[in-house]
Amino acid sequence: MTAREPTGAELLAALSALANAHRLRIIGALADGRQYVSLLARELGMSRPLLHMHLQRLQAAGLVTGELELTADGKAVKYFEATEFAFSITPQAIKEIVPTLPESAKGRDTDS
Amino acid sequence: MTAREPTGAELLAALSALANAHRLRIIGALADGRQYVSLLARELGMSRPLLHMHLQRLQAAGLVTGELELTADGKAVKYFEATEFAFSITPQAIKEIVPTLPESAKGRDTDS
DNA sequence: GACACATGTAAGGTTTTTCTTACACCGGAC
DNA sequence: GTCCGGTGTAAGAAAAACCTTACATGTGTC
């Protein structure tokens, strides 16, 4: 089930996206199933624009996916759901992805 | 071997601490074994004060531990090592720690 | 038409994080 | 004493993240 080991950039993006209490609650709320933005905002007690921003951040990291749908009565509603990610975070795992981090070639030894 | 499931605050602190390329490299460098600050700074190509700050952040999250030692020639050197943390990050795991997040009782819907 | 409810986004301010520079201390070697 | 290498920390600027308010769109209902 483990799709593929993430690259350094991907892991960093995921960790950054999850390093926020609001976004953890969003993922927690979506763990059961998909939900649309306005209702999710009411459930979580946050403003729509704020939720929108956090969802963008989570989607950019590949942690959630959004899909715009049209209900029977013609309303446009955007449903989000959590992707089935699974990260194992250990010192050893981090050590292995460090070489794939961006600008990891930056810390060159003293070439002077 | 899994010591104990982290609380929401602990997980959030760990994720926040790991959401940084420098700190990932620090953990990666310490995955092999302990090292002292000045040498680690040279290896990673960053200034001592900056490394000091990042180590403080990692230590505050419980991801590294520091120990001040005196070498045979009387120098005071501070060694850091990575703790043996292991986090499994999945939507379901996040859902379970959400209730233990600080101020999680804030956005509570009208229980009615 | 006005209203309710869904979407999105831009502007702006506040707060947090990040990083550099500069300073302080201690102990051994020259 | 001066130099070197280790420690720590404070001040302040720069950058990024966070959040609110306000505005824009569209559709169905009254």
**In-domain check, residue A54:** yes
For residue A104, what pLDDT band results from cuts at 50, 70 and 90? low
Q: Does B46 touch chain A (CB under 8 A)?
A: yes
**In-domain check, residue B111:** no
**In-domain check, residue B68:** yes
Q: Does A111 touch chain B (CB under 8 A)?
A: no
**In-domain check, residue B37:** yes
Pairing of strands A87-89, B87-89: antiparallel
Q: In strand D, which positions have an atom below 7 A from any protein CB? A: 5-11, 17-22, 26-29
**In-domain check, residue A43:** yes
- Domain range for B57 is 8-98
Which tens digits make up the pLDDT trace of A58-89? 999 999 999 999 988 888 999 999 999 999 99
Whether B14 shows a pLDDT value over 80: the answer reads yes
Report the CATH number at residue A24: 1.10.10.10
**In-domain check, residue B60:** yes
**In-domain check, residue B105:** no
Which tens digits make up the pLDDT trace of B48-96? 999 999 999 999 999 999 999 998 888 899 999 999 999 999 999 999 9
Which tens digits make up the pLDDT trace of A5-49? 899 999 999 999 999 999 999 999 999 999 999 999 999 999 999
For the purposes of burial, counting CB atoms within 10 Å of the CB of A39, is it exposed (0-12), middle (13-18) or buried (19 or more)? exposed
Dihedral over Cα of A56, A57, A61, A65: its sign: negative
**In-domain check, residue A39:** yes
Q: Which residue has the tokens 């999850």?
A: A18
Count: domains in chain B: 1
CA B53 to chain centre: 12
Interfacial B residues in 66-85 facing A (CB < 8 Å): 82-85
Q: What pLDDT is stored for residue B56 in this prediction?
A: 98
